[in-house]
C-alpha cells in the first residue's frame, strides 16, 4: 500500500505540473495565468468529490465530476487507504467494514479496481495536458508586442510616410546624425571646465544652490568574509576603499572609471549614502560643511544603472509623482508643472510625454528613452548633485550619444554631475570634463581634467617611464585602462597609486580639496525641518494616485480579476444551490462545511495569486523611491491596499 500510494502521488504531481504548464501556455501573461490557475484548481477540487460528495453534486454539474482529474485521484487514494487491513473491523449492526462504510458515506467507489483506474487517469491527463501545452505554444501568439517602442526619429519617419510628406535628405541626415550628436557633446570640451562657463548655463523656473562635494582620505571596509578567514586571512575587516580623495564641482561633468573591482561604484555609493552596511572613515563635506545623509538625500539625486519605473504610468505622470513628493511644499502646483515641462524639454522627452513606460525589453519605452526618464525623474527633484551609475550601459553608439547629450544639458544647468562609466567610445569619453580613475583595490591613480582630445590625460601617463605612446586614432579610454592595468604595474615594477601621490597633480587636488572644504563666506549649513519634503497626508495621497493609475491601466489584472469573481460566484451559486435546506444527514453537514471552506479559501488564493506579479514589479520601484526619500513605508502600503 505504501508504494502504491507513493506511485500515485508521483503521478498526481506530474499531472499537476502538466496542467499548470498548459494554463501558462494559454494564459500567455503572468497575471492571467495566476488567475486561471486558481480557477481551474477551484473547479477540479469543488467537483472532485471531497468538498461535495458525488451523490450530492447537482445533475447539471455531474459532468464536471467525471472530467475532474482530482475525482480520479480522490477515488484512487481513498480506496488504497480504506480498503486496507487497518480499516477492516466490522461495523456493529452491519456486515461492512469501517473502511467501506466511510467510502460509501462520502460517495466514493468501493471497488479496488478504482486505484488502477485513477492511476491510469493521471497518466492520461499528463499526456493530454502536455500535448495541449505544446499546441498552445505552437498556435497562440503573444498577447502584447514583445519589443520596445520606436524612437522619435522612427515615429517621425512613419508619420511622414503616412502623410505623403517626404523627409528631404533623410538618408543623408541619418548617416550623419550619430556624428553630429557625438560632436555636439564633445566639441564644448576645449580645456575650460564647465564651472568657468556659467554664462551658458540654462536657467530653469526653480532656482537651486550649486554645491560642491569633497572627500578626503575616505575609506570603506566591510567585515571580513568567512571564506577569506578560512583561507588564513587574519584581519577583521576587508578594506575596499583605501583612503581616496577628490572633489566634484558644479558645472563639471566627472567620469568615475576603473577596471572591474576598482571600487568606482562602491565610492559613488559611499558618497551618495547608499551603503547601509560596512564602515566609512574619512572626511566628506558638502560645500564646506560635514555631510549629513538625512539632509544630503534632499539635495542629491541618484540614477541607478537599472532603470526602474512603474510600467503602467506615462512619462509625464512619472515626473509629476517624483516632483510632487520631492519638491518642497512652498512650490505651488503651477510652478511645479512649469518645472516639469522644462525638465522634459531638457532631456528631450516632450514628444513622448503621454507614452506608457512599460516593462524593459517587453513594451513601452526603448532603453535610451528609459535612461533619459531616469535622469528626468531625479532632475524634477531639483537636486544640486546628481550621481549616475553607468548611464550609457547597454546602449549602442547613437543611443549613448542621445543620453550623453541629456547628461551634458544637465551639467549646463550648473549642477554637479558624477558618472561611473565603463569603456566608453572616444566621443563619449571626451564629453567629460574631468576623470577620477581608480585601480583594482580601491585607490585613485589619476584625478584631473581630460583635456581637449584627452590631451591632459595622455600627457600625464606618457610622462611615466615605460608607458607606451598612444597610437593615432586609438581610444584614449581604452589605452588608459590598458597601460594602468595590474599586469602593467607588475611588468614595470611601479605602483600607479604611488606615482599619482608623488605628482604635482595630486598636490593641486589636495589644495583644491582644502579650498572647497572651507564654507564660503555668508553660506549656511544644509538644514531641513522634516525628514521628507512633503507631509504624511500628501505622501498617502500621492501614492494612492499613482497606484490607482497603475491598477486601472493593467487590464490583465483588473479585468481578469473581475471576470474571475463573476465566474466563481456563478459556480458556487449553482454548485451549492439549496444546500442549506438539507440538514438531516451527517453528509449534509460535511457538504455545508465544504462549501464554506471553498468560499473562504479560493477567493483568497485567487486574489493573492493574481496580485503577486503586480506587486513584484512595483516592489523594486518602491525600493528606489524610498531610497530617494520620497515617502515612508506606510503611505506606500496605504496606496497599495486602498487602490
User: Which residue, of 534, 566, 599, is where some domain finishes?
Assistant: 534
Shared domain check, 360 and 223? yes
Shared domain check, 592 and 481? no
Shared domain check, 361 and 312? yes
Hey, what's the cell of 48? Answer: 472532485
Is residue 170 within 8 A of residue 157, CB to CB? The reply is yes
Domain contains 511: yes
Domain contains 614: yes
Shared domain check, 600 and 637? yes
Domain contains 189: no
Q: What is the pLDDT of residues 370-394, one digit of tens each?
A: 999 999 999 999 999 999 998 888 8
Is residue 573 within 8 A of residue 367, CB to CB? The reply is no
Identify the band that residue 500 occupies on the pLDDT scale cut at 50, 70 and 90.
very high
Shared domain check, 437 and 289? yes
Q: For residues 83 and 77, give the distance between their C-alpha atoms in angstroms, rounded to a whole number.
A: 10
pTM: 0.76
Nearest alpha carbon to residue 603 among 641, 556, 558, 561: 561
Total residues belonging to the chain? 643
Whether the CA torsion 237, 240, 242, 248 is positive or negative: it is negative
Q: What is the per-residue DSSP string for 587-622?
A: HHHHHHHHHHHHHHHHHHHHHHHHHHHHHHHHHHHH
Is residue 639 within 8 A of residue 547, CB to CB? The reply is yes
User: Which residue, of 499, 534, 569, is where some domain finishes?
Assistant: 534
Percent of the chain with pLDDT over 70: 90
Q: What is the per-residue DSSP string for 11-23?
A: HHHHHHHHHHHHH
Shared domain check, 403 and 260? yes
Top-confidence range, 416-420, 520-524, 564-568: 416-420
Nearest alpha carbon to residue 534 among 441, 632, 611, 464: 632
Domain contains 22: yes
Strands (E), 279-399: 279-286, 289-290, 300-303, 385-389
Q: Which domain holds residue 214?
A: 194-534
Average pLDDT over residues 615-628: 90
Q: For residues 117 and 242, give the distance between their C-alpha atoms in angstroms, rounded to a whole number.
A: 72
Shared domain check, 210 and 75? no
Identify the band that residue 29 occupies on the pLDDT scale cut at 50, 70 and 90.
confident
Question: Is residue 197 predicted with pLDDT exceeding 80?
Answer: no
Identify the band that residue 202 occupies on the pLDDT scale cut at 50, 70 and 90.
low
Q: For residues 642 and 540, give the distance between their C-alpha atoms in angstroms, rounded to a whole number.
A: 10
Q: What is the pLDDT of residues 52-94, one digit of tens each?
A: 778 888 888 889 889 899 999 989 988 988 888 888 888 877 7
Q: 389 - beta bridge partners?
A: 420
Domain contains 509: yes
Average pLDDT for the chain: 84
Q: For residues 433 and 454, give the distance between their C-alpha atoms in angstroms, rounded to a whole number.
A: 10
Domain contains 41: yes
Shared domain check, 121 and 260? no
Q: What is the pLDDT of residues 159-196, one digit of tens each?
A: 444 444 444 444 344 444 444 444 544 444 443 344 44
User: Which residue, of 483, 501, 534, is where some domain finishes?
Assistant: 534
Beta-sheet pairing, 385-389 with 416-420: parallel
Q: What is the CATH number of the domain that holds 480?
A: 3.40.50.300
Identify the band that residue 143 occupies on the pLDDT scale cut at 50, 70 and 90.
low
Question: Is residue 135 predicted with pLDDT exceeding 90?
Answer: yes
Is residue 48 within 8 A of residue 76, CB to CB? The reply is no
Ramachandran sector of residue 629 (left: φ over 0; alpha: ψ -120 to 50; beta: rest)? left
Shared domain check, 364 and 312? yes
Domain contains 175: no
Hey, what's the cell of 608? Answer: 493573492
Strand order in the sheet with 300-303: 300-303, 385-389, 416-420, 253-258, 434-439, 443-449
Domain contains 152: no
Q: How many domains does the chain have?
A: 2
Shared domain check, 356 and 291? yes
Hey, what's the cell of 209? Answer: 544652490
What's the Rg (C-alpha) of the chain?
Answer: 33
* 538, burial (CB in 10 Å: exposed 0-12, middle 13-18, buried 19+): middle
Shared domain check, 355 and 454? yes
Shared domain check, 284 and 340? yes
Nearest alpha carbon to residue 379 among 354, 349, 344: 344
pLDDT attached to residue 294? 82
pLDDT attached to residue 527? 84
Q: For residues 303 and 151, give the distance between their C-alpha atoms in angstroms, rounded to a whole number.
A: 22
Amino acid at each position: 500500500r505504501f508504494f502504491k500510494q507513493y506511485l500515485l502521488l508521483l503521478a498526481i504531481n506530474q499531472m499537476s505540473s502538466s496542467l499548470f504548464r498548459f494554463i501558462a501556455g494559454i494564459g500567455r501573461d503572468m497575471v492571467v495565468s495566476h488567475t486561471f490557475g486558481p480557477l481551474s484548481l477551484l473547479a477540479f477540487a469543488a467537483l472532485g468529490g471531497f468538498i461535495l460528495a458525488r451523490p450530492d453534486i447537482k445533475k447539471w454539474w455531474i459532468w464536471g465530476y467525471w472530467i475532474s482529474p482530482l475525482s480520479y485521484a480522490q477515488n484512487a487514494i481513498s480506496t488504497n487507504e480504506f480498503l486496507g487491513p487497518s480499516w477492516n473491523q466490522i461495523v456493529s449492526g452491519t456486515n461492512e467494514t469501517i473502511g467501506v462504510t466511510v467510502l460509501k458515506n462520502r460517495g466514493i467507489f468501493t471497488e479496488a479496481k478504482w486505484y488502477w483506474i485513477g492511476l491510469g487517469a493521471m497518466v492520461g491527463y499528463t499526456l493530454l495536458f502536455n500535448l495541449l501545452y505544446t499546441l498552445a505554444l505552437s498556435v497562440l501568439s503573444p498577447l502584447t508586442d514583445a519589443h520596445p517602442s520606436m524612437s522619435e526619429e522612427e515615429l517621425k519617419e512613419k508619420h511622414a510616410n503616412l502623410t505623403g510628406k517626404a523627409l528631404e535628405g533623410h538618408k543623408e541626415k541619418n548617416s550623419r546624425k550619430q556624428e553630429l550628436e557625438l560632436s555636439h557633446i564633445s566639441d564644448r570640451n576645449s580645456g575650460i571646465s564647465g564651472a568657468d562657463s556659467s554664462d551658458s548655463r540654462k536657467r530653469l523656473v526653480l532656482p537651486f544652490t550649486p554645491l560642491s562635494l569633497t572627500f578626503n582620505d575616505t575609506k570603506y571596509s566591510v567585515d571580513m568574509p568567512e571564506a577569506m578567514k578560512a583561507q588564513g586571512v587574519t584581519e577583521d575587516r576587508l578594506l575596499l576603499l583605501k583612503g581616496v580623495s577628490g572633489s566634484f564641482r558644479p558645472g563639471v561633468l566627472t567620469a568615475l572609471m576603473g577596471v572591474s573591482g576598482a571600487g568606482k561604484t562602491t565610492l559613488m555609493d559611499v558618497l551618495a549614502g547608499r551603503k547601509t552596511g560596512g564602515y566609512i572613515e574619512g572626511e566628506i563635506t558638502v560645500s564646506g560643511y560635514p555631510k549629513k545623509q538625512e539632509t544630503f538625500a534632499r539635495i542629491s539625486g541618484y540614477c541607478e544603472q537599472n532603470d526602474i519605473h512603474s510600467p503602467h504610468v506615462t512619462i509625464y505622470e512619472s515626473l509629476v509623482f517624483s516632483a510632487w513628493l520631492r519638491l518642497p511644499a512652498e512650490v505651488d502646483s503651477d510652478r511645479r508643472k512649469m518645472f516639469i515641462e522644462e525638465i522634459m524639454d531638457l532631456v528631450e522627452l516632450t514628444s513622448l510625454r503621454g507614452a506608457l513606460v512599460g516593462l524593459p525589453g517587453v513594451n513601452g519605452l526603448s532603453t535610451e528613452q528609459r535612461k533619459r526618464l531616469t535622469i528626468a525623474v531625479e532632475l524634477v527633484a531639483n537636486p544640486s548633485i546628481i550621481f549616475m551609475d553607468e548611464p550609457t550601459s547597454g546602449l549602442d553608439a547613437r543611443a549613448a550619444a542621445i543620453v550623453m547629450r541629456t547628461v551634458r544639458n544637465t551639467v549646463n544647468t550648473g549642477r554637479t554631475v558624477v558618472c561611473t562609466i565603463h569603456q566608453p567610445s572616444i566621443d563619449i569619453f571626451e564629453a567629460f570634463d574631468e576623470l577620477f580613475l581608480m585601480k583594482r583595490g580601491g585607490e585613485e591613480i589619476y584625478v584631473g581634467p581630460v583635456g581637449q582630445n584627452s590631451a591632459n590625460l595622455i600627457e600625464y601617463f606618457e610622462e611615466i617611464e615605460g608607458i607606451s605612446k598612444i597610437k593615432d586614432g586609438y581610444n584614449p579610454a581604452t589605452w588608459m585602462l590598458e597601460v594602468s592595468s595590474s599586469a602593467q604595474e607588475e611588468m614595470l615594477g611601479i605602483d600607479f597609486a604611488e606615482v599619482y601621490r608623488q605628482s604635482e597633480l595630486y598636490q593641486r587636488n589636495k589644495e583644491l580639496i582644502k579650498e572647497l572644504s572651507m564654507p564660503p563666506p555668508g553660506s549656511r549649513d544644509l538644514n531641513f525641518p522634516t525628514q521628507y519634503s512633503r507631509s504624511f497626508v500628501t505622501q498617502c495621497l500621492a501614492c494612492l494616485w499613482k497606484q490607482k493609475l497603475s491598477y486601472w491601466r493593467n487590464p490583465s489584472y483588473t479585468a481578469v480579476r473581475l471576470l474571475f469573481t463573476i465566474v466563481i460566484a456563478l459556480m458556487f451559486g449553482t454548485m451549492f444551490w439549496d444546500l442549506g435546506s438539507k440538514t438531516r444527514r451527517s453528509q449534509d453537514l460535511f457538504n455545508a462545511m465544504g462549501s464554506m471552506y471553498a468560499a473562504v479559501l479560493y477567493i483568497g488564493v485567487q486574489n493573492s495569486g493574481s496580485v503577486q506579479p503586480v506587486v513584484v514589479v512595483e516592489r523594486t520601484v518602491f525600493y528606489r523611491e524610498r531610497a530617494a526619500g520620497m515617502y515612508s513605508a506606510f503611505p506606500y502600503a496605504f496606496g497599495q491596499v486602498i487602490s
